[in-house]
Amino acid sequence: MMCRISELQYKEIVDIADGTRYGFLNDVEVDGDRGTVEALVVSGQRRLLGLLGREPDVAFPWSAVKRIGTDIILVDGGKRTPSRNGGKG
């Protein structure tokens, strides 16, 4: 299946082991020197309707991605880490 990066934002990230729904893909971390996708990033959950900010963004390294389907991306959630840039561009 071919997919553009712009289409990935409409896919929900789900843990293949326990079905945890992390949310929709928000960003992609790319290594510009090597030209590789390093991680998929999901924005942190809002606290108290967004009045208290957000939880930290979560990154799933490319090695955690198990399958990309038409609606979801299945990942090994045990490999998730805080996003390197915290979602700040």
Domain-located, residue 88: no
Q: Please indicate, yes or no, if residue 19 is contained in any of the structural domains.
A: yes
Give tens-digit pLDDT for 34-70: 989 899 999 877 777 667 777 888 899 999 999 999 8
Measured CA to CA, the distance from residue 61 to residue 77 in angstroms comes to 10
Residue 71 domain flag: yes
pLDDT in tens, 3-31: 787 888 889 999 999 999 999 998 899 99
CATH of the domain at 43: 2.30.30.240
Between the alpha carbon of residue 47 and those of residues 28, 50, 60, the distances in Å are 23, 5, 21
Structure confidence at residue 87 as a pLDDT band (50, 70, 90): very low
- The tally of domains found in the chain comes to 1
User: Smallest Cα–Cα separation from 25: which of 77, 60, 1, 52?
Assistant: 60
* Cβ neighbourhood burial of 78 (10 Å; 0-12, 13-18, 19+): exposed
In this predicted model, which residue has the larger pLDDT, 1 or 72? 72
Q: Which residues form the domain of 49? A: 5-82
Classify residue 46: in a domain, yes or no.
yes
Task: Answer yes or no: is 87 within a domain.
Answer: no
